[in-house]
Amino acid sequence: MSTVKMTVNGKAVAVDVEDRTLLVHVLREHLNLTGTHVGCDTSQCGACVVHVDGRAVKSCTMLAGQADGASVTTIEGIAKGDELHPMQAAFRDNHGLQCGYCTPGMIMSAIDIVHRHGGQLDEATVRTELEGNICRCTGYHNIVKAVLDAAGRMKVSQAAE
């Protein structure tokens, strides 16, 4: 057992876990942040993507101990109160989901994509960059539309700040 200390969605947390515990299980089972999903268990589907120190990573492929001292942001941490993050709003407006299982990971990856590419995003880039996130319902079309829509909104909201 080890104590893992992290900042999760802006709050300091300390959890006692077995060393074999994955970050995703700390989030879901110890912190009750069940928005982050486990999809494949083989590190391929991206349903578990969260931001660790600002980088979108698969929380099922990281031991909790590796995240000790890190700042973690999950899907629960991106809205401002009742106001959805622009990426969440764009997914809703563009019907970028059907069953919703992959959506938290899609949104966390998509925010990272927009941060990395800024205004340089086009459809082909979004499709390539989303290859670590698997959706079995939508055919991706509306997800790509949502990410492009959100990229514009995020630029506007950044400019306003």
Q: Which residues bind another protein (CB under 8 A)?
A: 2, 18-20, 22, 41-44, 46, 49, 55-58, 60-63, 65-66, 68, 109, 112-113, 129, 131-132
Give the whole-angstrom CA distance, residue 10 versus residue 67: 15
Residue 15: closest CA among 31, 32, 36:
31
Long-range CB contact pairs, 27-35, < 8 A, 24+: 27/59, 27/72, 27/74, 33/8, 33/9, 33/74, 33/76, 35/74, 35/75, 35/76, 35/104
For residue 41, the minimal CB distance to another protein (Å) is 6
For residue 108, the minimal CB distance to another protein (Å) is 9
- Return the number of the residue (25 or 85) whose C-beta is nearest another protein: 25
For residue 86, the minimal CB distance to another protein (Å) is 20
- Return the number of the residue (96 or 105) whose C-beta is nearest another protein: 105
- Return the number of the residue (93 or 117) whose C-beta is nearest another protein: 117
For residue 81, the minimal CB distance to another protein (Å) is 28
Do residues 59 and 24 make contact, with C-beta atoms less than 8 angstroms apart? Answer: yes
